[in-house]
Amino acid sequence: MNFLEEHLAWLTERRSVRAFTDNPISEEDLLRLVGLASWAPSAGNRQDWFFTAVADVVTKSRMADAVRNCWQRIVAENQDLGVIEEVKRYSSTFASFEQAPAVIVVSARKPDALQRHLLGDVAEATTGSSVSAAMAAQNLMLAAHAMGLGSCCMTGAVAAREELARLVGLSGKNEIVCLVAVGMPANLPAAPPRKPVSEIARIIR
């Protein structure tokens, strides 16, 4: 297998890891992950992202409580929905980042007043800060994979992003895009099936 094929195969080997060992991640490795994440493309090369790495047990526990409380409230307020039990089961996993040695809060700069005035409802999509941060999160997860670490991108927790931002001291100019749990994997899950390319793409000529 040549270098290209090896690299392409490596891209398919990354997994979303949700079970971790107790091995801590060094500050050096956390900073290295963020440094590699910052090589992702960003809109206008503004690099409007910010990464808050949380390895403190107490802070992670408070973050997890905030997420659980948020989803308990959502479920309680929507008991009349036919799918609420499914939502309840699914949302029970949204605070699982608490068990990871570290969780990295990936955030992006909010559109400013002028951008919102000019662009209205499409300000966030057009300025591209959140998309840029999401691409940086992917870089971070691929870097973790290359370093022998496991990771999992979590967006369900973002329902509690105001409280999470307060807990980690995030600037009001930034908004949380996702959380990335990181650690040494306790096991590697099997590859989930992927939809055929024919179902998810079309080419216009």
Domain ranges of the chain: 16-187
Question: CA-to-CA distance for 136 and 178, rounded, in angstroms?
Answer: 11
Residues 6+ apart with CB under 8 A from 13: 145
Q: Which residue has the tokens 């300025």?
A: 127
State the pLDDT at residue 80.
85
- Find the distance separating the first CA and the last CA of the chain, reported in whole Å: 33
C-beta neighbour count of 78 within 10 angstroms: 12
pLDDT of the chain, 205 residues: tens digit per residue = 788 888 888 889 999 999 999 999 999 999 999 999 999 999 999 999 999 999 999 999 999 999 999 999 999 888 888 888 888 888 899 999 999 999 999 999 988 888 888 888 988 888 889 999 999 999 999 999 999 999 999 999 999 999 999 999 998 899 999 999 999 999 988 989 999 999 999 999 9
pTM here? 0.93
Residues 6+ apart with CB under 8 A from 6: none
CATH class of the domain at 16-187: alpha beta
Tell me, letter by letter, the H, E, C secondary structure of the chain.
CCHHHHHHHHHCCCCECCCECCCCCCHHHHHHHHHHHCCCCCHHHCCCEEEEEECCHHHHHHHHHHHHHHHHHHHHCCCCCCCHHHHHHHHCCCCHHHHCCEEEEEEEECCCHHHHHHHHHHHHHHHCHHHHHHHHHHHHHHHHHHCCCEEEEECHHHHHHHHHHHHHCCCCCEEEEEEEEEECECCCCCCCCCCCHHHHCCCCC
Question: CA-to-CA distance for 162 and 19, rounded, in angstroms?
Answer: 26
- The pair of structure tokens assigned to 89 is 């089961």
Q: State the average pLDDT for the chain.
A: 94
State the pLDDT at residue 184.
97
State the pLDDT at residue 150.
97
- The pair of structure tokens assigned to 17 is 């890891």
